[in-house]
Structure 1
Amino acid sequence: MVAGGGEDRLAQEFVQFAVDSGVLRFGQFKTKAGRLSPYFFNAGLFDDGAKLGRLAQFYARRIIDSGIEFDMIFGPAYKGIALAAAVAIELARLGRNVPYAYNRKEAKDHGEGGTLVGAPLRGKVLIVDDVMSAGTAARESIALIRAAGAVPHAVAIALDRQEKATEQGVDVDHSAVQYVRDKLGLAVCAIARLADLLHYLELHQGGELGGHHAQVLAYRERYGVQE
């Protein structure tokens, strides 16, 4: 299940939170694909305890509402580490206590060694990350989870940009989220989507965000995918 658009109240609350936190910014930003985007979402700016705690509440609510079944949480290095821990804490607070694990970028050659930290990877695993640009991090996580004998089952992200992915520098007709969902077979839930951001901007055209709606809409018309 993916976050809905338009009247999705949770998504609208999240977009407002991201704007207020300075995580969602408007202007001109270069993406990994080399596009000039009129908005930028930097989850690394959820950078204090209060923001991270509230972010985890949004993830937990969306995950629970999605109905996705999972046995544990996995956070890909590096942003996913803090996200997985925070979400595990919030889920436990809500009565859903599950183990979590994460990976290192470099293998440790002493102590317990290896690249995996935390609970052993078992059962159906929910990957928690911020955004999905090309699906690369998801594929790496999937490989790690399968190598450990567990099942990569679903991915939870903060924002689905709903835009075309690139392969070898060429735009393709599907997004990274669609690739992971349709080609790799994992369920994907997002707290909010680009459609939700557009709805938010449409409602705030008379304020200081006025003008950004047209720019973001034009970007989606050029790079957006069909849902």
Structure 2
Amino acid sequence: MEWKKEFIDFLFKKKVLKFGKFILKSGRISPYFFNSGLLSTGKDTVKIGMFYARAIMDLNIKFDMLFGPAYKGIPIVVSTSIALKNQYNLDIPYSFNRKEEKKYGEGGQLIGGDIKNKKIIILDDVITSGISINHSVKIIEKENSKISSIFVLLDRKEKKETNLYKINHSNNQKNYKINSIITINDLFFYLSKKEKLRKYANKLVEYHKKYGSF
């Protein structure tokens, strides 16, 4: 879709996507690297919120709240909530967790709206170990709420390392499907259409043959 191309253009412009040789946390040598931490200006934050909002609305997901895992999920849920209001006139509350529970003042682990008995979308940038997402799942289910979807910016579609198609929550054996703004397949297609970038597409294909989940 055109807006996915726009999103990848945006990532290249901000140098979030880089090509070369990068050692990942898993020890794998990847031909590309995705660093969402570079999206740190007001304009960037607004754009990211718009892309998330568009992706959510395109999938026609039923939800009434957003949740962002600390820390990178926090600006994402704020900007997405604003975008949903500005672009779709949906006034959606959000919540996010603290890394450590607050022991004074109002106390507690959560900031934002009440998450009890809600249909919630979890938003994060990418998934590495899945620890923060699983922690969020545990928090949400404890409040008798339903997880409508989990969204990330990029799905690398790699086997064993992260399993980005679903989160297997060990406490209840439920599987939660991961949605993304773009996948590695979208990136393949984009690169293959650009003559100067086609060589990177070939490297991604080789890498995916070795580590791709399908």
**TM-score with structure 2 setting the length:** 0.91
- What is the rounded CA distance, in whole Å, between the counterparts of 2:151 and 2:134 in structure 1? 14
Q: Equivalent pairs: percent with the same residue?
A: 36
Alignment match, 2:210: 222
Displacement of 1:225 in angstroms is 1.2
CA deviation map 1:22-52 (0-9, x unaligned):
1111111122221111111111111101111
The one of 167, 182, 185 aligned to 1:180? 167
- What is the rounded CA distance, in whole Å, between the counterparts of 1:39 and 1:73 in structure 2? 30
The one of 62, 68, 88 aligned to 2:55? 62
The one of 182, 193, 203 aligned to 1:192? 182
- RMSD of aligned residue pairs (Cα, Å): 1.7
CA deviation map 1:164-223 (0-9, x unaligned):
133xxxxxxxx522232896333432110000111111111x22x352111111111111
The one of 90, 93, 106 aligned to 1:96? 90
Question: 1:1-227 residue pairs with structure 2 within 5 A?
Answer: 8-93=1-86, 94-122=88-116, 123-166=118-161, 176-180=163-167, 184-204=174-194, 206-207=195-196, 209-226=197-214
How many residue pairs end up in the alignment?
A: 209
- What is the rounded CA distance, in whole Å, between the counterparts of 1:71 and 1:181 in structure 2? 23
- Aligned partners of 1:134 and 1:165 also within 8 Å: no
Amino acid aligned to 2:43: A
Deviation >4 Å, runs of 4+: none
- What is the rounded CA distance, in whole Å, between the counterparts of 2:91 and 2:59 in structure 1? 17
- Aligned partners of 1:153 and 1:187 also within 8 Å: no
- Structure 1 unaligned blocks of 5 or more: 1-7, 167-174
CA deviation map 1:85-144 (0-9, x unaligned):
110110111211111000010111111111111101131110000112332222111001
Instruction: Give the SS at the match of 2:206.
Output: helix
- What is the rounded CA distance, in whole Å, between the counterparts of 1:111 and 1:148 in structure 2? 22
Tell me: higher relative CO, structure 1 or 2? Use CA pairs within 8 A at least 6 residues apart.
1
- Aligned partners of 1:133 and 1:165 also within 8 Å: no
